[in-house]
Every structure is written in structure tokens, then in C-alpha cells.
Chains A and B, each alone.
Chain A
Amino acid sequence: MAHTERRDAPGLPDFSLLKRLARDQLIFLLEQLPGKKDLFIDADLMSPLDRIANVTILKQHEVDKLYKVELKPIVSSSDQLCFLIRPRIQTVKWISDLVNSDKVAGRFRRYKIIFTPQKFYACETVLEEQGVYGDVTTDEWNFYILPLDDDILSLELPEFFRDNFLEGDQRWVTTAGSALHLLQSVYGSFSKVYGIGRCAKMVYESWRELMEEGEQRTRQPEFAKVFLIDRDVDFVTPLCSQVVYEGLVDDIFRIKCGSVEFGPDVTSSDKSIKVMLNSQDKVFDEIRNEHFSNVFGFLSQKAKNLQTAYDKRRGMDIQQMKAFVADELKGLKQEHRLLSLHIGASESMMKKKTKQDFQELLKTEHSLLEGFEIRECITHIEEHINRQVSMIDSLRLLCLLSITENGLLSKDYKSLKAQYLQSYGIEHLLTFANLRQLGLLEEQQAGETLTVMESKVGKLVTDKTVGKLTDAFSSLAKKSNFRALSKRLALVPKSGEEYDLRVPRDMAYVFSGAYIPLSCKLIEQVMERDGWTGLEEVARMLNGQEFAVTGGCSSSEARNKTDAQRIVLVMFLGGCTYSEISALQFLGKERGCRFIVVTTAITNSARLLEALLDNGASV
């Protein structure tokens, strides 16, 4: 393959331990309600749960029937109902209604709610307000982290992004802090913590408090450094079309909790097949981080190899054949199956992606990133909207345009918005309000209106309050400064140079050599400098809130070049994309270290924007 593993790359800690811990606790909780019971599971917990404890295990612990929470009246004859849910007001309200209707019907049952990863006071308030607090027992299942792969850990909290960045609801901050604390208590403490973003800072604070409360354990740490980053530090990267294999699969087929469902067009049969995508799949493991243009070549090479391996059979005597069947055939068959699946997937993607539309989309994206031929881009976006090509893609291009250009000219903003509403309906007024609040799609203001307002307010109240106000307004005041950042960090390689995607020379390969993901570049720079020195200007442009703290480990220990010193834990607050993971893997191989990604959820442009829609369905 294009880049081979450096031989001194450090080994990774065993994260399956986290799964075992979660499973044991769940079993303990289920046993708290002895006897047969029906289990209701939040829809988005189904897949994660399946990775922790499958149906057989649940049945062993007297779970009778399994239902998905659908917020509709239920049909269950069991006398014991157990609910495994995320702490959402809506779901708790549904349960309360259920209990109350049972009461009216004179039916006696036992109810138990298991909140995961933790329960919130607001949920208990709802139980209390609905008058069922005494009828229901509640528990917490501290299932903070799901290892999706050897080096990808997910909190599986897609709502983190909207709640935290749009609604200003910081309740998940403690969850993220607890997740870090869990990692620390299982795998040892970290020598250094870096971070950028308001949320990152709060998560660190919450984690630090947990550390202080809990007992200090001194053990050989398994990671050296932690980097916390807010999603709103870099919105550009998740808005770009992904062209690395795994990212592309996610964009097109949507990877859910580490597995994907390939439809009939891929499997070339009439059935859909669910496939786990992780390092266990040897074929996938080799192509996941590759630029899509290389994948076909690789796969055909692989197919040839496979054929040769099969061909070995010819001219074998009985003994050799026996050995072949015993040792190799199964592996080959497996590889064969996977290979044909990935070839099918590639074909299907190729069909979609080689269309002219997609090529033009990529071209527009690249122009926007480079800041080149903006007028034409706007025309293209306009056409895109007028032709109703794709609701999400149009929005994505609009956002990308706004961020890279520091907001749209008032005239363009109004006209594009009006056209978008004509195409997709007036309810997107709310979507636009959300996008503006997040600083994703803005109208250029004449002058620095906000700063003026701030200084006015500043005269009226004390400095401390101004600080708070500025915090509150930070998302409003956010200037993306993308051009300046891009220049300073050399995110966009000079155009005209040939970029050989077969032999990537930097992280830009994940976007066809057109752009180095800002988030990953930041991580690279901070790791290189061991802090933010020299990056003050960059941090200021990113709205500050950067920090670097030396952790519990003594410095002498840190100087030891143990394996652990070369493992870096990167936590994305608000989600990260597969492209970013690929870029970090590349960086790790270049530098002989390993990156472990912890994210609140895997995201991509579609998920990011869908979270910000405010149409009837999502309320």
C-alpha cells in the first residue's frame, strides 16, 4: 500500500475492556429487577447496545421481549417494564403517560427506567410533575464510551452538537468529562492536556473536578497526551465532500455505529447485507484511509492476488490440497466475500460520483477553499438551488461559501436565501436562523456592529460581566477568518502543482490535495510545539479559549520515550468525520505516533446540517 506502517509505531491499549465494564454494569442493573420483564430501548441506543450485549445476553437476564421506543402506546402483557433510554424529556414524558394510563386502567406493573449515560434532574422533574415519581424506579447505566474500532471511541451522542452549540445547553459537558475520567481511571493518567474551544475548556474543568474528587491512582499511563477540540473551531472540514474511502462510504451509505448496510445495488443480489466496518475486515482496513481514486486499482490488484492464491490449487497433490483446504481456504473465502462487497460498493459509488454534477460540486468546493472565482461559484450554487439538486448539498455549499468568505454580501445573502426558500419551503427560515446563530451562514455586516455594541455595554457594566456577555455572544460574533487562517497554516496548497494521490505527501490527500483539514493541522502544530506558543495569532482568530495543562504525570516520566508517550488521544466535541480520522492516521504514520480519536459521534456534512434543520419532523 501507499504508506506502510512505521515499525516503531506504538501499540494501542485494549479498549474492549470498556465494553466489558459496560456489559457487567448493565447486567447488574437488569438483575435489580428480578423476574421476566419487557425491555424498551431508545431507537438510537439499539445499535450501541447490540455492540455491548446482544439479544442472547439480554434473554439470559430475563428480558422477555424487546421493543423500540416509538413514543406510541405500547402492547405489552408483562408486569415488569424496563426502559433503557437517553435522558430526554420527551421520552420520560412518554413513560409518564404510559404509567398514568395504566393507573387509569387499574393495571399494576413495575417500571424501571435506566438512563444512560446518566440521569438529569430535568427528567426527574418531569416524573414528578406528571405524578409518577413514586411509581418508577430509576437507575443510571454509566455507558459513556463505545469503542467503534481499535482507535475510534465514540460517545454515541449525536445530539451533543445541537444541544451544546446551538441551544447552549451544556448538560453533556459533564458526560464528556466523565468519559475522560473513565478512560483515565482505566488506562492511567495523562501527562499533558491541550485544548481549544469553550466547550473543551468546560469539559476539561469538569474532568479536573472529577479527578480531584476521586482518589489518585499512580499507574503506568497508556496515553501521553490529550487534545480537546470543539467542533465549532473548524466547520469547514465537515462541510467538505469526503473522498477518502471510509468517508465516502459514510457520505453515501451512512455508516451507523461502525456498520453499514449495503443495498441490492452493491450486493448484486436482492438482499441487503449489513457489514461491520473496522480493522477486523482486512480488505477494508487497507483501503479505508485511501483516496477513492486509488481504491479501484488496489481492489483489482487484490482480486488478482486472490485468484493466484486460488490457482495454487492446480497441481497440488492430495496432501497439499488437504492443507490448503484446512488452512487457507476459509480465509480466502472470507476475503473473497469482503472483496466482492467492497468492489460492489466502489462501483456503486463510482456511478454516483463520476457524474458531472459531483465533479462540478467538487470543483466549486475547491474554488471556495482557494478563494478563487467566487462569482462563478455563486452562480453554480444558485443553479444548484434552482434545479433542486439536493437540499442538504445546496445548504452545504452556502455554508462553505459563507465561512470561507467571512459571510455573504447582503445582496447575495438575500437572493440566495429567497431562492432556497422558494425551492424548499418557508420552514427553512428557521434553519437559516439556526445557521446564522452558529456562524455557519451569515450576512456581512456593514462595519463591526457587534464590537461597537460590546464596547457600549462595557461602559455600563463591570469587566467581569462583559466577559460573560462576550462569551454569550461568541457564537454570534464569530468571524471565521478562514482566509487568514488558511494562509497562516498553509491549509490550501498552491494551485497548479500536481498532487500525486497515490503517494500522499501531507494530510491534504484526504481532500484530493486541495485542503488540509484545519482541525488536524491545529493538532499537528500544537503537538509539534508542545503547546500554543507561536500559535497565539491563530488561536485568536479561532476565538481563543485555548489551553495547555501539564497533567498528573511527573515530567521525568514524560521524558521517557515509552510507547505511551507517543499515543495521543484526540477528543472531538460535537463530532468528527472519517476524513479527519484518516488525516490523523496519516499524520501518526508520518510522525511515528498513534492517534486515538474520541468523539461525541461520527459526523459528516449531512448529519451536521440535518441537526440544524428545524422542520416539523425534528420538533
Chain B
Amino acid sequence: MSLKPLDVHFKVHLDLKKIELYEMGWNLKDGLRECLVAAAPYGGPISLLKGHNRRSPSARPQLEIYSSSGLPLASFPWKSGVVKQLGWTVSDDLLCVQEDGTVLVYDLLGGFKRHFSMGNEVSQSQVLETKIFHSPYGTGVAILTGALRFTLATNIDDIKLRRLPEVPGLQGAPSCWAVLTQDRQSKVLLANGSHLFILDNTACTPVTPPGLSPQASSIVHMCDSFSYKYLALLTDSGHVWMGTSNLKEKLSEVDTKIKTPPKQMAWCRRPKSQQPSAVVMWDGLLIVVGECKETIQYHLDDDSILVPELDGVRIISGTHHELLQEVPGACEEIFKIASMAPGALLLEAHKEYEKESQKADEYLREIKEQSLLSEAVRQCVEAAGHEHEPETQKTLLRAASFGKCFLSNFPPEQFVSMCRDLRVLNAVRDYTVGIPLTHTQFKQMTVQVLIDRLVYRKLYPLAIEICRYLKTPEYQGVSRVLKHWACYKVQQKEESDEVIAKAVSVKLADAAGISYSEIATKAYESGRTELAIKLLEFEPRSGEQVPLLLKIKKSPLALSKAIESGDTDLVYTVVMYLKNELNRGDFFMMLRNQPVALSLYKQFCKHQEQDTLKDLFNQDDDHEELGNLYVKASYKEQRLEARIALLQSAVDEYYKAKNEFSAKTTEDEMRLLRFQRELEEKKGELLVGFSLHDTMTTLLSVGLHKQAEQLYKDFRVPDKRFWWLKLKSLAEKEDWEELEKFGKSKKSPIGYLPFVEVCIKHHNKYEAKKYVSKVTPEQKVKAHLAVGDMEGAAEAAIERRNESEISTVLSRCSATTDHLLMERLNRAKATAVKK
């Protein structure tokens, strides 16, 4: 390596440092020459496709995937079409864009996931150039076709292809182009000679960057910054123009004095930095341009690639992996030679303290006098975050901790979380893991995403350790990792179902919020149905088991689980599913064994499918219910014949059910209906549908006594009912003569008290009195009272010597008129009590 890395501070208006991240673990014969290379940002994996230009089938190109430290993750011969471009998605998936516009997606361990096409137009005119970009909506693919048209997909997980408008006057491939994300839209910026155009969904707009030096006749390279905020253009005259990507403002322009087209250009800038700086790379040469005229130059021995990052640029060569970044403010303050910044003084103080020198106190005093101690601690902590060497980190943190002792209420959170973060960062930066994240990047990507990345790499133990260490809530942390682990585990073909199920249950036993059904689904998807069922048994929520059980066609189990869950809705779901899935016979059989499901389904049928209900009862030989069903259907029927026919079916069913009573009653009803109809036709009285009682009432009220008598005989109406009926209807018509005749026709089965009461009800005291004498002795008092004959009542009561009856009469007497009577009664009461 031609450069001395580490801690070399260049003072050329720009403080840069270059850190060696790894010595690459791979063993590449030709370095990166003639390779298609793609490295994912945030210290992601690197993919190489060697010899991608070879078209002969005998020598297939090899696709290799490595970690950032060069450890092999996957390698396989490329069997598909010619690859134009490799790229990584935000979730660490590898995209391989082929000449025909097909994009193949692999996971980072080389497993094929899926493929998609960029459209017919692309496959017809072939891919000329392609760029993979990241936006807030995900990872996108932009393609320039052979027909010089652009096609764009902003998010490969939700592909919506957009074909951008034509560029006027474009004869050949544009000299360079880039994808910008502006105003929540992805646009293409392209240069055709010295002309710049912005292509969006609707239009192609020519633009001019402000203050671009006029000597340029063509723009040969361009790149936008990590955040899409800034843009750098390189002209054929060797000038680098830097400005905002909306082309409103120019930041600087620098002459590189090299006129050959570069290999790559990238921004090298940390967030919130005021200074623009870009890196341009030629064969063997790297130039950093900034605000001023001078440039910094590095020599490169080897073919390299630049990987832009949020806060710098990574340079990967065949042997080394370095990070070039602007020196963070805090580090500069502390490590600047002869710095008097509080952080630097504190570091010095701590060094002296370690040496047990009293100078420590002097330094401390100096800081304290300016009351900058908390600032000093803060600086040290921050600087520690930016350092890659654990030793330097430790030194700085120790100094911070030392300074903290002299502060009373300094909030500890910052220090504590930095210690934690660094521990995690050092762990993932380790050579074997190979994720060289900076602290800034780590904060941007969040712990969750880091855990995901570790999970993609199947580094489960490390991921769990980190979750536990950072005390991530179980649901987002340990449980999530374990779930991924289990999903991976169930795909291991070589182990038996029992072993896997056991392993999974043991590991996941005490983890909260684990969904076994998800794991089981994974097992089922990889063709292990038995294992899926085994795993489902661990699922404590029966409701969760149901959908998968249905999917794997374990319907009886699904049904019983649904019932177990007590969630009727779920039972319905299963029942409806089964209804469509099974043939009717099997379906009914299954329902038969599940009374809950059966009654639910019956409810549904009652409203939706009456006929099905009949079939259900038929299958169960439930003749009783069938009979009921027919009866119910009968009174919805308007036409009499149909009604009688339905009742006949009911009768048959009742006989089959050995329910003589219902059968007989229904037969009676049929007879009654016929009778009613006949009378209706003859006499014009509305009768059909009346109950027997109501029919007789009607008949009596219109004077059809004979017919009423006939019903009385035919239907074995009890005497009592008939007497009541006749009594009431005669009284209603005030046919007192007939009533008297009726009363004398034979001995009344209901006694004569009702006669008295009914007459009184119709306000005929005279008639009522006629019957009082006929009333049985027990009811005499009541009868006398009913007609208002106090004397008679008293007489009867005294005669019967019944205390309660005497009291009743007494209570009805009024003190003014019945004075004598009351005396008599009281006397009688006294004797009755004595007895």
C-alpha cells in the first residue's frame, strides 16, 4: 500500500483520515480486474462476478459473495444470461440485472429468491446501462435501453414500471447519467455532451448548473451524494463542479488537471459538514477535491472500487479495505497537535493521573476554571464513538469517566449508551463478522436493522447476545431472532422432524411473543407437513393454528382447534372453508361430530339455505326436526293444498320419529284446515288458519251452532272448553234465553259460578242471580258477592262456618249500611275460630 494509513492528518483545507478496516481475507488472483463488483452500503456484503463478458457456455462466470472483510459467504457458477449490473437492496439482497431486463434476486448467502422483469420494451431493445439506487421507498432499478429510453422501478418489492419520456436529440448513449430523488420522486439527470437534462414522469427539462466553467464541452461523469442533496459533475476539461442537486447553487469548482475520463467518482462528506468534498478515481490514482483549488492525491497500487457511505467513502482493492472520511470535529479538537480544546486537556489530565503525576490536577483546574468540564467529557465521549481502535476508544472513555467524577449532576445516559454502542460496534466490526459500521452509520440504521443484518447472515447467537446486552424488548429483540432461527432450522433437511421440533421447543420455550404458527408455516412451505403439525402443537393460541391447519388440509383438526378457541367467528371461517372444499356428504359427516359447528351452520342455513337444513336433518335421521321444519314451512305457504301437503310430510316425519302425539295433532290440523275451507266456501266466514278454539268462537258468534257442535265432537274438545266457549259467546250476544236453556241442558262441567261471573261481566245482574242457587256450596259466598248480595253471602259463609270466607265478606261490608250484618258475622267468626 502506498499510503500510510491511520492518524495521518492532512492539512490541506480539509481534514481527511484514512482508516484501514480490513486486510481482505479473500484470495483473488487478478484482484478486481475484469470483475463486475458491487458492495452494499453500511458495511454490507460484496459481490463479484468474474468474467461476466465471456459468452461461451464452456467457461461459465463465477458469482461470489464476500463479507466486507473478504470472507466468502457464497460462490456459484452463473448459469443465467449476461449480467449487466450487480447491486444490493436495502435488505441485503443481491440484484443481478441481465441484458434482457430480467432481474434476479438472491439472498446474501446465494439462495435464489425470485426474479422479475423490467418490461417488454426493455427485453426487446436490451439493456444498455443500469443503475441501482436507494430511496425512501426502497431499492430501485433504473435502466437505459438500447432504444435510448429510460425505464424506472422505484421499489423492487412493489414493482411499478415507469417509462420516462424521450430525450430530444439523443443520438447515442448519454455521456453520463444519475438517478436523483427529489420532491418524493425519482428522476434521471443525464448529460448529452455539454447539455444537461432532467427527466421526470412527464417531461424532459434542459437544465444548466450555475457557474459551470465555460471551457467544458462535455460532462463525462456525475455522481450524487448519499443523501441526494448534492451533485458533482466532472467535465472533459478536468474540472469538478460541486453543487446542490437541484442545480440552484454552486458550492465550488476545482480543476483536477487530468483530462482522461475517470473510473469512478463519489462524494466523501459527513452529515452536517460545511465542506463539500468528492473523490475521483482513475487507474492508480485517487484525487480528493474540496473547497479550494488544491487537491489531495493518493496513489493506488491495485484496481479498486469506491463505496459511498453516509459519512465517507470506502475503498476496496484486491487486498485492502479502507475508509476515507473527513475527520470528525470532536476527534480533530482532541488530537490536533497542541490542541487546547477541553477534550484534549481532559485526555492529557487523565494521562497524567495514570502516571500519578500532580499535573493531572493542573490540567483539570484549567478546564474547570473555564467551566468546560462537561464539554470536555462530552467531547471525549463523542470522539470515542468515531474511533475504530478499541484502545483509543478505551483511552477516551476512561478520560471521560475520569472527568465525570468531578462533575456533580452530569447526565450519565450519553456515556453509558456510547459504551454499549461501541461494544456492539466492535463486535460486528470483528473480522469474522465483517460489518465495518461507523457510529454515525449505526445510529442511522438503528439496532433493529443491525439485528436483521446479523440474522440474514445467520449469526443468531451474536444477534441474541446483542439484543440481551442492549436490553431490546423481547418482542423486537430475542424473540424475533429466535423466530428467524427457528424458521431457518426447520428448513434443514438432514435432521428428523422429532429432533427439530424438540430443538425448537427447547430454545423457544421461555421467549415471549413467539408465533409458532409462523414457524410452522415455514416448515410447511419447505415441504415438511408433519413437522409443521408438530410445531403447531406448541402454539398456545388455538386461533393461530387454524389458518395453517386449513392450508395443510388438516381440516378436522382445524375445526376442533377453532372450536377449542371459543371464537365462533373462527369456527365459521373453518365451516365455510370446509363447505367449499369438501363434498356435501363428507362435510355433513364432519359437522356431525362437532355439535358447536353444526349448530352454527344450522343458524347460517336458516337464513341462507333452507334446503341444506333439510339435507342436514335427513342425513342425521332427525325426523323430529324435519317434521318441525315442515310445519314451519307450512305456515309460510299461502295456498291451502301446498300447506296441507307440507303438513302431510310433517306427519310422515313425526311418525318416523315415533312422535305419535305430534303426528296426530298435525293430522287434526289438516282436518281442521279442510273443514275451515269448506265452511269458508259455503258460509263466507274467514276461518282458515284459526286455531280450533278460535274457529269455534267464530262459528258460535255467527250462530253456526251445529258446525261448532260438529267440531266439538270430531276433535274431542273437552267438555269444559266447550261449555266455556258457548257460555262466553252466548253472553256476548246477550242471548240470555238460549243461555238459560244451555245451562239446563245438562249438569255444567265447569259449575255455575262462571255463569254468574260472565253475566255480571255483561252487566246483567238479573240473569246472574238465576244461577246463584245452582252454585256448589264452596263457591256460594263468591257467587253471592259477585251479584252484590251481602246478606246471601253472609248467610252462606256463616252456614259453612268458614273463618276466611267470613273475613272476606266482612271486608266487603261497609260500616254504615251493613252494621247489623257485620255484628252477626263477627259473632259467627268468633265461634268459628273457637272451633
Partner-B contacts on A (CB < 8 A): 89-90, 93, 120-122, 125-126, 129, 163, 167-171, 173-174, 202, 205-206, 209, 382-383, 386-388, 414, 417-419, 421-427, 429-430, 433, 468, 472, 614-616, 619
A426 engages B665 (CB within 8 Å): yes
B721 touches A168 (CB 8 A): no
15 contacts between A and B (CB under 8 A): A120-B572, A121-B569, A122-B572, A122-B604, A125-B576, A169-B603, A170-B566, A171-B569, A173-B568, A174-B568, A383-B724, A422-B693, A422-B721, A423-B693, A619-B606
In the assembled complex, the CB of A391 is this many whole angstroms from the nearest CB of chain B, namely 10
A426:B566 contact, CB within 8 angstroms: no
| Residues of chain B in range 717-737 having any CB-CB distance to chain A below 8 Å | 717-718, 720-721, 724, 728
Query: In the complex the two chains form, is B691's CB within 8 Å of A167's CB?
Result: no
B600 at the interface (CB under 8 A from A): yes
Cβ B566 vs Cβ A125 within 8 A: no
> B582-599 vs A: 1/0 string, CB under 8 Å?
000000000000011001
Besides A386-B718, A387-B724, 16 more A-B contacts (Cβ < 8 Å) are A89-B603, A121-B576, A122-B569, A167-B603, A169-B599, A169-B603, A171-B569, A173-B568, A382-B720, A383-B720, A383-B724, A421-B665, A422-B691, A423-B693, A429-B631, A616-B635
Tell me which residues across on chain A come within 8 A of B691, comparing CB atoms. Answer: 421-426
Question: Beyond A382-B720, A616-B635, is A429–B608 a contact (Cβ under 8 Å)?
Answer: no
- Cα of A168 to Cα of B692 in the assembled complex, Å: 33
Distance in angstroms between the alpha carbons of A171 and B562 in the assembled complex = 13
In the bound assembly, the distance between CA atoms of A433 and B541 in angstroms comes to 38
Known A-B contacts A121-B572, A125-B576; the reply to A429 vs B665 at CB < 8 A is yes
Most A Cβ at <10 Å: residue of B569, B599, B624, B662: B569
- Do B693 and A424 touch (CB < 8 A)? yes
- Inter-chain contacts of B606 with A (CB < 8 A): 619
Within 8 A of A (CB), among B550-567: 566-567
Contact A168 to B595, CB < 8 A, known contacts A90-B607, A429-B662: yes
Minimum Cβ distance to chain A for residue B232 (Å):
48
- Which residue on chain B has the smallest CB distance to residue A424? B691
Chain B residues closer than 8 Å to A426, beta-carbon distance = 631, 665-666, 668-669, 691
A205→B542 CA distance, assembly (Å): 13
Distance in Å: Cβ of A56 to nearest Cβ of chain B: 35
Which residue, B568, B572, B628, B632, has most C-beta atoms of chain A within 10 A? B568
B→A interface (CB under 8 Å): 541, 566-570, 572-573, 576, 595-596, 599-600, 602-604, 606-608, 624, 628, 631-632, 635-636, 661-662, 665-666, 668-669, 689-694, 715, 717-718, 720-721, 724, 728, 750
Q: Are A167 and B599 within 8 A (Cβ)?
A: yes
> In the complex, are the beta carbons of B608 and A472 less than 8 A apart?
no
The distance in angstroms between the C-alpha atoms of A129 and B607, with both chains bound, is 13
C-alpha spacing A388/B567, complex, angstroms? 44
B608 touches A126 (CB 8 A): yes
Q: How would you classify the secondary structure of chain B's contact residues: helix, strand, loop or mixed?
A: helix
Q: Give me the 4 closest cross-chain CB pairs, A-B, nearest first.
A: A168-B599, A171-B568, A425-B691, A386-B721
Task: Check A430–B631 contact: CB distance below 8 A.
Answer: yes
Residues of A near B572 (CB, < 8 A) are 120-122, 125
Known: A125-B576, A173-B568, A429-B662. A93 touches B596 (CB 8 A): no
> A120 CA to B662 CA in the complex, in Å?
37
Partner of B666, one of A163, A382, A383, A429: A429
What separation, in Å, do the CA atoms of A168 and B598 have in the docked complex?
Answer: 9
Say yes or no: A89-B608 contact (C-beta < 8 A), given A167-B602, A171-B568, A426-B631: yes
A interface: dominant SS: helix
Chain B residue numbers with a CB within 8 Å of A417 are: 661
Min Cβ gap A417→B in Å is 7
| Known contacts A414-B661, A615-B635; is-contact A422 B607 (Cβ 8 Å) | no
Known: A89-B608, A169-B568, A429-B665. A121 touches B599 (CB 8 A): no
Partner pick for A427 among B607, B608, B631, B721, CB 8 A cutoff = B631
Nearest CB of chain B from residue A215's CB, rounded to whole Å: 12
Q: Decide: A120 near B569, CB < 8 A? Known: A89-B608, A418-B665, A421-B691.
A: yes
B residues less than 8 Å from A616 (CB atoms):
635-636
Chain A residues, CB < 8 A from B567: 174, 206
Known A-B contacts A169-B568, A202-B566, A424-B691; the reply to A614 vs B632 at CB < 8 A is yes
Contact across chains for A430 and B693 when beta carbons are under 8 A apart:
no
For the complex, what is the distance from the CA of A206 to the CA of B569, rounded to whole Å?
A: 13
Contact of A422 among B576, B715, B750 (CB under 8 A): B715
- Beta-carbon contact of A170 and B596 below 8 Å: yes
CB distance from B293 to the nearest CB of A (A): 61
Known A-B contacts A168-B595, A422-B715; A93 and B607 likewise in contact (beta carbons under 8 Å): yes
Beta-carbon contact of B718 and A419 below 8 Å: yes
Q: Which residue of B lies closest to A430 (CB)?
A: B628
Q: Are A168 and B632 in contact (CB under 8 A)?
A: no
CA of A93 to CA of B690 in the docked complex: distance in angstroms? 32
B-chain residues with CB within 8 Å of residue A122 when the two chains form the complex? 569, 572, 576, 603-604
Taking a contact as CB atoms under 8 Å apart, the answer to whether A173 and B566 are in contact is yes
Question: Distance in Å from the Cβ of B615 to the closest Cβ of chain A?
Answer: 18
Which of A126, A167, A209, A433 lies in contact with B628, CB distance below 8 A? A433
Chain B's nearest CB lies how many Å from the CB of A101?
A: 19
Residue of B nearest to A87 (CB): B569
Task: Report the separation of the CA atoms of residues A167 and B572 in the bound assembly, to the nearest whole angstrom.
Answer: 15
Hey, which chain A residues are within 8 Å of B608, CB to CB? 89, 93, 126, 129
Complex formed: what's the CA distance from A168 to B600 in Å? 7
Q: How far is the CA of A383 from the CA of B566 in the complex (A)?
A: 46
Please name all residues of chain B whose beta carbon is closer than 8 Å to the beta carbon of A427 when the two chains form the complex: 631-632, 635
Q: Complex Cα distance A395/B809, Å?
A: 33
CA distance A167 to B666 in the complex (A): 24
Residues of A close to B602: CB separation below 8 A: 167
A418–B691 CA distance with the chains assembled, in angstroms: 12
A472 to B597, CA, bound (A): 12
How long is the Cα–Cα vector from A427 to B691 in the complex, in angstroms? 9
Known pairs A426-B669, A427-B631, A615-B635; A89 contacts B721 (CB<8 A): no
Q: Which of A422, A430, A614 contacts B692 (CB 8 A)?
A: A422
Contact assessment for A89 and B631 in the assembled complex, using a CB-CB cutoff below 8 Å = no
User: Which residue in chain A gives the minimum CB-CB distance to B604?
Assistant: A122
A616's nearest neighbour on chain B, judged by CB, is: B635
Interchain CB contact under 8 A, B568 and A168: no
- List chain A residues, Cβ under 8 A from B599: 167-169
B578 to chain A, nearest CB (A): 13
Closest chain B CB from A427 CB (angstroms): 6
Known: A121-B573, A425-B691. A205 touches B631 (CB 8 A): no
Residues of chain A within 8 A of B636, CB atoms compared: 616, 619
Which residue in chain B gives the minimum CB-CB distance to A417? B661
A553–B564 CA distance with the chains assembled, in angstroms? 28
Q: Which residues of B contact A424 (CB under 8 A)?
A: 691, 693
Q: Complex Cα distance A224/B580, Å? A: 48
Complex: chain B residue closest to A382, CB-CB: B720
Q: A89: which B residues are within 8 A, CB to CB?
A: 603-604, 607-608
Q: How far is the CA of A426 from the CA of B635 in the complex (A)?
A: 10
What's the Cα separation between A418 and B728 when bound, in Å? 21
- For the complex formed, measure the closest distance between the CB of A228 and the CB atoms of chain B, giving whole angstroms: 15
Asked whether A433 and B624 contact (CB < 8 A) given A121-B576, A387-B724, the answer is yes
A166 to chain B, nearest CB (A): 10
Most B CB atoms within 10 A — which of A383, A417, A422, A423?
A422
Q: Report Cα–Cα, A170/B572, bound state, in Å.
A: 11
Complex: chain A residue closest to B697, CB-CB: A388
Q: Is the CB of A422 within 8 A of B568?
A: no
Residues of chain A lying within 8 A (CB to CB) of residue B576: 121-122, 125
Q: Residue on B with the closest CB to A166?
A: B599
Q: Give min CB distance, B177 to chain A, whole Å.
A: 43
Chain B residues, Cβ within 8 Å of A93: 607-608
Contacts of A419 in B (CB 8 A): 718, 721
Q: Closest A-chain residue to B727, C-beta based? A: A387
Q: Is the CB of B632 within 8 A of A430?
A: yes
Question: Within 8 Å CB of B573, what residues of A?
Answer: 121
